[in-house]
Chains A and B, each alone.
Chain A
Amino acid sequence: MSYNKVFSIISSFICIFYGQYIKAQISGEFQTEAQYYIKDTITSSIEVPQKAMMNAYFNINYTYSNFNAGLRYESYQGPLIGYDTRYQGSGIAYRQITYTGQYFEITAGNFYEQYGNGMILRTYEDRNLGYDNSIDGIKLKLFPYKGIIAKALWGTQRFFWQKSPGIIRGFDAEISLNELSEKLDSLKTKIISGFSFVSKYQKDLDPIYILPENVAAMSGRLRITRGNITLSGEYAYKYNDPSTDNNKIYKPGQALLLNIIYAKKGLGFIIAAKRSDNMSFRSDRTATGNVLNINYLPVLAKEQYYSFATMYPLVTQINGEIGFQTQFIYTFKKASKIGGKYGTSITIAYDRTNSLKKNILPDSTFMGYASKFLSIGKDVYFETTTLEIRKKMSKSLNTIFSFINIIHNQSVLLGHIGEPIIYAKVAVADIVWRISDYKTLKYEFQHLWTHQDKKNWAGLQIEYTIAPKWFFNIGDQYNYANSDQNRRIHYYTSGVGYVHTATRFMFSYGRHREGVVCVGGVCRNMPAYNGFSISIISSF
């Protein structure tokens, strides 16, 4: 009997029998999405022999006293278009038991963890991306002294329905200096410092290269807060790690992330800078794509919400990039000249990511290139300038107006080699009209201008909500200026949803354009498709 089955039986036993006699808490969540695909000759969407496909997830959590146990069953009958087909199948993808004591917490099974900003270790699940790099093993968390947390972990990573060939060992310690004594706690300046060390092991089976079987990475971080301002930074270093990503070079990797955040009522700004160089860190040195990543490299770009603004996203370049981000938010007071009766807020943001400046070294060095730490390459990868104004016009009318200027190097970011850099401008008007206490109508007008790629787009989305049960939407994205007359396509969508207690049903139909789905710089390709979709999300 497999470990999974034994684990499931034990977990079920605990839930069913113990739950009846003692005060235990059981919670969970069910989520499924099924899609029925229709052949669409206009969009050249891919044909699906099965016609319908489905992704489903069922989580259950059991908590009693200091114990917590949980498992997640996943079923991919397809899986849905755009998801990695290696997910095909069903089974228990996640199961864990945790005990929390006064000085320690121990987890056995699958777990997610992040050290600092994640630059040497971050495991997480994101269903929108079809991303899950959980670790299966042991995690220990220690609280030896007030203000000190030490963590250790040891395990292998999830690789669809298998495990990574490499083993991960990690250690992290974080000290909140102010918590160490009452005297320090009384200081206005708050300091938190941390150190992480992660090592991976993978056997060297390569007959040509002498590969490091143990590859280590370490990072140090510091956060200082005084009043409304916070300064933070993290530096990470990775030892030689020849891999498919870096074309088997023995150059060490480095990354630096700096943040300044200021926030007070009505005013805030963020300034951030990042440099990462050769920081791909995976539990399989031959892996590519969104699999078996041990670390995560944060992106420095304002998060965009509207579909046209996300059409050309920033995709993290794991082999190296340098960038910075600034964002300024100001709220004009109510009853002021600009603030009006209900107040107005304005956001101005600018971010840019460039290549690293590299001097290519001879192949015989096996080091790939040299790059000065603060030198910036001439290639622009990504740039956005965003202006966003939020204004409440009346008690029943809320508006958001956005203008986003985008520079997107599709050749680098999406691998569209030889294609020109995209210069796009996006304007959005988001108007929410509260008709009554229960009824809301939302209009979202969007327009995208560009001379590259598929040229201009216009879009409209209308949502009607009858709280708390019903919601309806209808929309269209029209690529009206495509240089190919036959590709001037309407991508229309419609849907209806119903909410009953903690369960949400959604039924929709539409034609979906091809594109890239990104969350935090991690992306997956989404082919065009046409069809029906049913989704159910329920929690208990």
Chain B
Amino acid sequence: MMSNKIKLLILSFAVLFLSCDKIKSPFVENIVLDTTINVVRKILLEDYTGHTCPNCPTASAIIDSIKSVYPNNLIMMTIHAGYFAEPAAPPYTMDLRCSTGNELDDFFGISDVGNPNGMVNRVFFNNSRIINPNDWFSAFVMEQTANTPLIKINIQNNYYTDTRLLQTTISSQFITNINGTYKLAVYILEDSIIAPQRNNNPNIGSVPVINNYIHRNVLRGDFNGTFGDTLANGDIQSNYLVTKTYSKIINQQWNENQCYVLAYIYDASNYYILQTEIKKIKNTN
């Protein structure tokens, strides 16, 4: 027969497991916006999507809600890649994929996990770099509140309408002393492409397809390779400034009035993005 000590051990085990937190209203934290920072840290949200992905418009609406709270801190880019982005039977005949987006998708394995999914500054949120749209807001706020800006980016675009040549100059200035290898990636985006999009959310638009869906900030290509080129490495001093110029012919099929240059700087050791900036190509400022 088992001793009383062992019986007591069983009871102790049972008590040990009685762990449960029952949360009562309010269910959300009291968030206070910090508006005192001069150099704004802009956070890149990469939305991996596809036109036959029915849940993707809902994800896009989440981005809009973040943008409504943090209009100056969020830069979003949609990457059409993977199964849901493939051209399919009408009306999904448009192909918004590009080699840059495909390479990013393959590298980070986003569409293997499924769409919609994305990355917020490529930060790990709950141990995963790939973040479900339901957690984008949380990941964004965590990233926004946890870090101060380390680098400032300025974009100067010269666009020649007759030849459709775009020259873009990216000036990157480190605000603080820092050590490591940092890379600059420069992309071209096209905003507000109107094309059919599968949808399962009647609150957003018609179901099962929104024929005139506005595809926002679609990645079209890059200036300096998918993963960019090295900006600085080693011990980098505060105020260190690097200026790089790139050029590209803007595709005839793209609406030049809706094209943007997006530049971001990331830590080459872990792909974590430190700063992002975006600018319209036809903006003369």
Chain A residues packing against B (C-beta within 8 Å): 84-86, 103-104, 140, 142-145, 150, 152, 162, 165, 169-171, 173, 197-199, 201-202, 205-216, 239-240, 242, 244, 247-248, 250, 284-286, 288-289, 366, 415, 417-419
Known: A145-B2, A207-B141, A418-B200. 5 other contacts (CB 8 A): A104-B6, A152-B17, A209-B138, A240-B23, A286-B131
Q: Mark B201-216, 1 if CB is under 8 A from A, else 0.
A: 0000001110000000
B69 nearest CB across to chain A (Å): 10
User: Is B94 among interface residues, defined by CB-CB distance under 8 A?
Assistant: no
CB distance A418 to B126 under 8 Å?
no
B205 nearest CB across to chain A (Å): 13
Chain B residues packing against A (C-beta within 8 Å): 1-2, 6-7, 9-10, 13-14, 16-23, 25-29, 31, 54-55, 109, 112-114, 125-128, 131-132, 134-135, 137-138, 141-142, 145, 198-200, 207-209
CB distance A210 to B23 under 8 Å?
yes
CB distance B23 to A417 under 8 Å?
no
Residue in contact with B20 in the complex, picked from A85, A211, A212, A248, CB distance below 8 Å: A212
CB distance A210 to B29 under 8 Å?
yes
Question: 6 A-B pairs, CB-CB below 8 angstroms?
Answer: A142-B9, A171-B17, A208-B141, A209-B29, A214-B21, A286-B132
Pairs of residues from A and B, 6 with the lowest C-beta to C-beta distance, nearest first: A418-B208, A216-B20, A417-B54, A212-B21, A417-B200, A207-B141
Q: How far is the CA of A104 from the CA of B20 in the complex (A)?
A: 28
Residues in B whose Cβ lies below 8 Å from that of A214: 19-21
B64 nearest CB across to chain A (Å): 16
CB distance B19 to A199 under 8 Å?
yes
Residues in A whose Cβ lies below 8 Å from that of B127: 162, 165, 284
CB distance A212 to B23 under 8 Å?
yes
Residues in A whose Cβ lies below 8 Å from that of B141: 207-208
Residue in contact with B114 in the complex, picked from A142, A197, A201, A289, CB distance below 8 Å: A289
Residues in B whose Cβ lies below 8 Å from that of A85: 109, 112
CB distance B125 to A286 under 8 Å?
yes
CB distance B27 to A152 under 8 Å?
no
Residue in contact with A169 in the complex, picked from B16, B135, B198, B200, CB distance below 8 Å: B16
Q: How far is the CA of A165 from the CA of B19 in the complex (A)?
A: 17
CB distance B16 to A418 under 8 Å?
no
Q: How far is the CA of A448 from the CA of B126 in the complex (A)?
A: 45
Which of B27, B114, B145, B199 has the most CB atoms of chain A within a 10 A radius of its CB?
A: B27
Q: How far is the CA of A140 from the CA of B55 in the complex (A)?
A: 43
CB distance B142 to A206 under 8 Å?
yes
CB distance B126 to A201 under 8 Å?
no
CB distance B137 to A201 under 8 Å?
no
CB distance A208 to B29 under 8 Å?
yes
Residues in A whose Cβ lies below 8 Å from that of B54: 415, 417-418
CB distance A209 to B6 under 8 Å?
no
Q: How far is the CA of A358 from the CA of B110 in the complex (A)?
A: 33
CB distance A165 to B200 under 8 Å?
no
A163 nearest CB across to chain B (Å): 9
CB distance B142 to A207 under 8 Å?
yes
Q: How far is the CA of A104 from the CA of B138 in the complex (A)?
A: 45
CB distance A418 to B209 under 8 Å?
yes
Q: How far is the CA of A243 from the CA of B10 in the complex (A)?
A: 32
Q: How far is the CA of A208 from the CA of B7 in the complex (A)?
A: 44
Residues in B whose Cβ lies below 8 Å from that of A169: 16-17, 19
CB distance B10 to A170 under 8 Å?
no
A180 nearest CB across to chain B (Å): 13
Q: How far is the CA of A73 from the CA of B1 in the complex (A)?
A: 40
Residue in contact with A286 in the complex, picked from B1, B22, B135, B198, CB distance below 8 Å: B135
Residues in A whose Cβ lies below 8 Å from that of B2: 103, 142-145
CB distance B132 to A288 under 8 Å?
yes
CB distance A171 to B13 under 8 Å?
yes
CB distance A208 to B28 under 8 Å?
yes
Q: How far is the CA of A284 from the CA of B131 in the complex (A)?
A: 12
Q: How far is the CA of A145 from the CA of B138 in the complex (A)?
A: 50
CB distance A286 to B200 under 8 Å?
no
Residue in contact with B134 in the complex, picked from A201, A244, A418, CB distance below 8 Å: A244
A138 nearest CB across to chain B (Å): 11
Residues in A whose Cβ lies below 8 Å from that of B16: 169, 171
Q: How far is the CA of A214 from the CA of B138 in the complex (A)?
A: 19
CB distance A209 to B131 under 8 Å?
no
Question: In the complex, which residue of chain A has the Cβ closest to the Cβ of B86?
Answer: A44
